[in-house]
C-alpha cells in the first residue's frame, strides 16, 4: 500500500513519536483523507425511500455506512490515521480500544497496511465484533468495561510495544477520515437543509460537521445519542465536558462515558444541538429499515434515522441527510429484536 503524505494540521513530533492532538482538523484535511482512502474504502451508496419520504413529509437521503468495509464508517478514520503515519512509525504497529466497530476498522486497516494491531475490547462486546476483529488478524485483549480503564490499558500496551495508539475519536486523522462519509454524501446530493449524525465520542459528528460547514452553507447539523448515554448532550448544555457512568443501551457503539476536548470543541462550534433516542425507538427503527428498505442496521446506526423521523414536523418539505453509521448486529439478537422479544 503506498505511503501518502498527511494533510493534517497536527504536527508529527519525532522525539515523542506522536502527533500534537491539540489542533483541530479542517475541511482541507477531510479532502486529503478522501484522496488517501480512494480505492481502499468503499464509496457507500446514498439510499432513498418513497415510503419514509411520504411518512415524514421530507426528502431523506441515507448515507449507508452499513455497506462500508467492516460494516461501519470506522474503517475510514482508522485507515486514514494509519496511512498518515510516517512509514517507520507505521511499521511498529498500532493499538486501539473499542467496543467493536473501531476495533474492526483498525484491525482491517492494519491488515491491509501489513502491520500488527492490538485491540483492547470489552468482555461483553458483541460476539460477532470480537470474532471479526480476530478474523482480521488483530490480537484482542479483553477488559471489563465497568471496572477497568480501556484508555489506560491501551496506553500501557502501546508504550510496551512501541506502537502507535489510535483512539476511537480523539485524533485529528480519525475525525478527518470519518468526515469523508459526509463529503461523499454532499457530492451526490448537493446542498441539504439538515444532517443527522450519530454521536458516540463525536468523531463522526465532528468530521461531518466540518464538511457541512464548507460544502453546504446553511445546513443544520444535529447529533444524536442514545437516551441512556447522553454525555455529549449534557456537555454541550453545560459548556464543559461531562462524564457519565457506562450507559446501559442497545446502542453499544455509543456507550462512551465522555467526549474529548477535540470533539467537544468542534461539536460545540458547529452542531446546533444533540438530541436523544430511547432503545425502544431504535428497535422500531431497525424493524422499519429492514421491512421497508431491506437493510440490516445496528441499533447505533439507527440513531440518526430515528431522530430525523421524530423531527419531521420541523423539516417538512426540506432535504435531509442521515448518516447510517453501521450494520454490525448479531443475527440471533437481530432476530429476537425483530420478533419483539425483550432485549438483554
Question: Mind telling me the catalytic residues?
Answer: 74, 99, 225, 229, 231, 325
- Within the chain, residue ranges assigned H as helices are 27-37, 50-56, 74-84, 87-90, 101-113, 127-135, 150-161, 172-189, 203-215, 231-238, 261-270, 279-288, 303-310, 331-338
Residues 6+ apart with CB under 8 A from 13: 19, 20
d(CA 128, CA 104): 10
- The Cβ of residue 276 has, within 10 Å, a number of other Cβ atoms equal to 20
DSSP class of residue 254? G
Question: Helices 172-189 & 261-270, crossing angle to 10 degrees?
Answer: 30
d(CA 180, CA 35): 10
Residue 182 vs residues 31, 124, 228, 324: alpha-carbon distances, Å: 11, 31, 26, 11
Cell numbers standing for residue 234: 449534557
d(CA 180, CA 51): 28
d(CA 159, CA 142): 18
Contact in structure between 147 and 1 (CB atoms under 8 Å): no
Amino acid at each position: 500500500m503506498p505511503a501518502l503524505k498527511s494533510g493534517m494540521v497536527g504536527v508529527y513530533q519525532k522525539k515523542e513519536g506522536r502527533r500534537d492532538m491539540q489542533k483541530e482538523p479542517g475541511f482541507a484535511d477531510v479532502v486529503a483523507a478522501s484522496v488517501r482512502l480512494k480505492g481502499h474504502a468503499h464509496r457507500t451508496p446514498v439510499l432513498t425511500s418513497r415510503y419514509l419520504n411520504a411518512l415524514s413529509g421530507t426528502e431523506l437521503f441515507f448515507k449507508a455506512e452499513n455497506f462500508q468495509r467492516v460494516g461501519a464508517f470506522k474503517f475510514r478514520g482508522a485507515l486514514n490515521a494509519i496511512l498518515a503515519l510516517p512509514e517507520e512509525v507505521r511499521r511498529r504497529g498500532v493499538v486501539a480500544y473499542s467496543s467493536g466497530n473501531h476495533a474492526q476498522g483498525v484491525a482491517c486497516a492494519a491488515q491491509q497496511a501489513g502491520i500488527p494491531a492490538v485491540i483492547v475490547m470489552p468482555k461483553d462486546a458483541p460476539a460477532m465484533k470480537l470474532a471479526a476483529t480476530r478474523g482480521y488478524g488483530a490480537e484482542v485483549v479483553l477488559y471489563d468495561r465497568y471496572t477497568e480503564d480501556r484508555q489506560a490499558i491501551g496506553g500501557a500496551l502501546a508504550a510496551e510495544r512501541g506502537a502507535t495508539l489510535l483512539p476511537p475519536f480523539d485524533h485529528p486523522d480519525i475525525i478527518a477520515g470519518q468526515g469523508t462519509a459526509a463529503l461523499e454524501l454532499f457530492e451526490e446530493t448537493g446542498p441539504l437543509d439538515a444532517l443527522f449524525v450519530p454521536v458516540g465520542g463525536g468523531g463522526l459528528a465532528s468530521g461531518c460537521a466540518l464538511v457541512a460547514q464548507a460544502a453546504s452553507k446553511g445546513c443544520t447539523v444535529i447529533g444524536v445519542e442514545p437516551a441512556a448515554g447522553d454525555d455529549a448532550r449534557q456537555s454541550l448544555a453545560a459548556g464543559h465536558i461531562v462524564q457519565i457512568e457506562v450507559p446501559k443501551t442497545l446502542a453499544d457503539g455509543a456507550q462512551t462515558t465522555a467526549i474529548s476536548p477535540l470533539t467537544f470543541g468542534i461539536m460545540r462550534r458547529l452542531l446546533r444541538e444533540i438530541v436523544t433516542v430511547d432503545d425502544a425507538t431504535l428497535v422500531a427503527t431497525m424493524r422499519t429499515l429492514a421491512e421497508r428498505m431491506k437493510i440490516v442496521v445496528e441499533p447505533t446506526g439507527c440513531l440518526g434515522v430515528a431522530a430525523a423521523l421524530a423531527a419531521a414536523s420541523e423539516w417538512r418539505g426540506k432535504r435531509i441527510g442521515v448518516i447510517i453509521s453501521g450494520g454490525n448486529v448479531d443475527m440471533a439478537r437481530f432476530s429476537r429484536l425483530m420478533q419483539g422479544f425483550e432485549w438483554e
